[in-house]
């Protein structure tokens, strides 16, 4: 588990991601990530490209089910 420290950034708040998290998400400056609330109350941080890929796999699966 990585501990993240909240900092003041301009008029808002921000955090710095550890290098390990950056490498695992395959992100760089300027990329967008998603923060998704899970049903049991925790959160999931994901690369938007990974999230879109997951959605495409689900959509393709539904399409193939309808063809059968």
What is 11-64 written as a DSSP string? TEEEE---HHHHHHHT--TT--EEEEE-TTS-EEEEEHHHHHHHHHHHHHHHHH
32 part of a folded domain: yes
Q: Domain range spanning residue 12?
A: 6-67
Number of domains in the chain: 1
Minimum mean pLDDT range among 12-16, 24-28, 59-63? 59-63
pLDDT band at 66 (very low <50, low <70, confident <90, very high): low
Is 27 domain-assigned? yes
Mean pLDDT of the chain: 80
Confidence of residue 2 (pLDDT cuts 50, 70, 90): confident
């Amino acid at each position: 588990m990585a501990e993240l420290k909240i900092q003041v950034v301009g008029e808002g708040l921000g955090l710095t991601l550890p290098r390990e998290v950056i490498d695992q998400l395959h992100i760089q400056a300027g990329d967008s990530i998603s923060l998704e609330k899970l049903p049991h109350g925790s959160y999931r941080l994901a690369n938007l490209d990974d999230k879109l890929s997951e959605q495409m796999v689900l959509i393709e699966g539904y399409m193939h089910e309808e063809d059968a």
